[in-house]
């Protein structure tokens, strides 16, 4: 990759890596979905020390030669069955308070994942069980390490991103109706939205939705069949969706 100059090669040969404080690096994932109308996060129950028995975000140690996002996606697939191309993955940030792990100095790089509602994920190694929990029913203080802090950051980031990106579509399937998309916004923001204004807004924003020929099957509640859409190519929404003020 980079050409190493000769004098630097000589210097590297005399270099002692142990002069720097050793850290371990982990990845933790805030995997979010909308499930039965509830904005929910995937939590696992730890089957080993430390925090044996506590709920935590899925994650684990980064291998020596592994890219950070690769490490996150590898665990995503193995522990939850979520494939990378079926979800949105972005880095949330680094969390590295000195006392966040009793074993040693650990910096965790957190990843935020938006996924459609999935089949019940399978527990992976080192975890006892796994399941979706509505985010407003999670007790942040009960989570392992600083995972309450990481979860709060992920939830707030998700709520903000729905405003100015088309990422709400990452929470629904390949094809979806305007009503399904609206229920994503309502679940994430915890606010009812006017179906008529919402319809006008999303169908009128260029690049957000692409019409699919066929109509959707009628839902269990009856009603007129809705048109089906796919995600458009837009990466940002201008002007953005407006989140109702809290209250």
**Which positions touch a second copy (CB under 8 A)?**
1-2, 4, 7-8, 11-12, 15, 17, 20-25, 49-50, 52, 61-68, 91, 93-94, 96-99, 102-105, 107, 109, 238, 240, 245
Listed ranges 11-19, 56-64, 105-113, 201-209: which one lies at the site for DNA (CB under 7 A) = 201-209
Listed ranges 67-75, 119-127, 162-170, 171-179: which one lies at the site for DNA (CB under 7 A) = 171-179
Crossing angle, helix 147-164 and helix 178-189, to 10 degrees? 140
Q: Is the dihedral of CA 74, 84, 68, 162 positive or negative?
A: negative
Task: Tell whether residue 177 is a contact of DNA (CB under 7 A).
Answer: yes
- 200 contact, one of DNA, a second copy, none, CB 5-8 Å limit per kind: DNA
Cβ–Cβ under 8 Å, residues 150 and 84: no
Complex with a second copy: residue 72 or 228, whichever CB lies closer = 72
Task: Tell whether residue 212 is a contact of DNA (CB under 7 A).
Answer: no
- 97 contact, one of DNA, a second copy, none, CB 5-8 Å limit per kind: a second copy
Q: How far apart are CA 23 and CA 131, in angstroms?
A: 30
Q: How far is CA 169 from the centre of its chain?
A: 13
- 21 contact, one of DNA, a second copy, none, CB 5-8 Å limit per kind: a second copy
- 233 contact, one of DNA, a second copy, none, CB 5-8 Å limit per kind: none
Q: How far apart are CA 40 and CA 209, in angstroms?
A: 24
The C-alpha R_g of the chain, in whole angstroms, comes to 21
Q: How far apart are CA 105 and CA 63, in angstroms?
A: 16
Say whether 40 sits in a helix, a strand or coil: strand
Task: Tell whether residue 37 is a contact of DNA (CB under 7 A).
Answer: no
Residue choice 213, 233, 239, 246 for contact with DNA (CB under 7 A): 239
Task: Tell whether residue 50 is a contact of DNA (CB under 7 A).
Answer: no
Residue choice 195, 210, 230, 236 for contact with DNA (CB under 7 A): 195
Task: Tell whether residue 34 is a contact of DNA (CB under 7 A).
Answer: no
Q: How far apart are CA 52 and CA 127, in angstroms?
A: 10
* Residue corresponding to tokens 């924003």: 205
- Minimum Å gap between C-beta 232 and DNA is 16
The answer for residues whose C-beta is within 8 angstroms of residue 239's C-beta and 6 or more apart is none
- 225 contact, one of a second copy, DNA, none, CB 5-8 Å limit per kind: DNA
Q: How far apart are CA 33 and CA 42, in angstroms?
A: 8
CB atoms within 10 A of CB 78: 14
Task: Tell whether residue 219 is a contact of DNA (CB under 7 A).
Answer: yes
Q: Which residues bind DNA (CB under 7 A)?
A: 177-179, 194-197, 199-201, 203-204, 215, 218-219, 221-227, 239, 242, 244
């Amino acid at each position: 990759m980079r050409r190493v100059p000769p004098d630097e090669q000589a210097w590297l040969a005399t270099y002692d890596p142990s002069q720097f404080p050793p850290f371990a690096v982990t990845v933790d994932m805030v995997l979010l979905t909308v499930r039965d109308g509830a904005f929910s996060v995937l939590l696992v129950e730890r089957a080993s020390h430390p925090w044996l028995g506590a709920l935590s975000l899925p994650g684990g140690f980064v291998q020596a030669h592994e890219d950070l996002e690769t490490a996150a996606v590898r665990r995503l697939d193995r522990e939850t069955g979520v494939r990378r191309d079926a979800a949105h993955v972005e880095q949330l940030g680094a969390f590295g308070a000195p006392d966040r792990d009793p074993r040693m100095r650990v910096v965790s790089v957190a990843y935020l994942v938006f996924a459609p509602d999935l089949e019940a994920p399978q527990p992976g190694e080192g975890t006892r069980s796994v399941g979706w929990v509505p985010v407003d029913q999670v007790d942040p203080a009960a989570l392992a390490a600083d995972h309450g802090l990481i979860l709060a950051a992920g939830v707030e980031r998700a709520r903000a991103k729905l405003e100015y990106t088309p990422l709400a579509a990452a929470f629904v399937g390949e094809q979806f109706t305007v009503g399904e998309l609206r229920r994503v916004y309502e679940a994430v923001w915890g606010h009812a939205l006017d179906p008529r204004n919402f319809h006008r807004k999303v169908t009128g924003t260029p690049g957000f939705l692409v019409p699919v020929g066929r109509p959707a099957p009628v839902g269990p509640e009856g009603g007129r069949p809705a048109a089906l859409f796919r995600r458009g190519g837009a990466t940002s929404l201008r002007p953005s969706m407006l989140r109702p003020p809290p209250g």
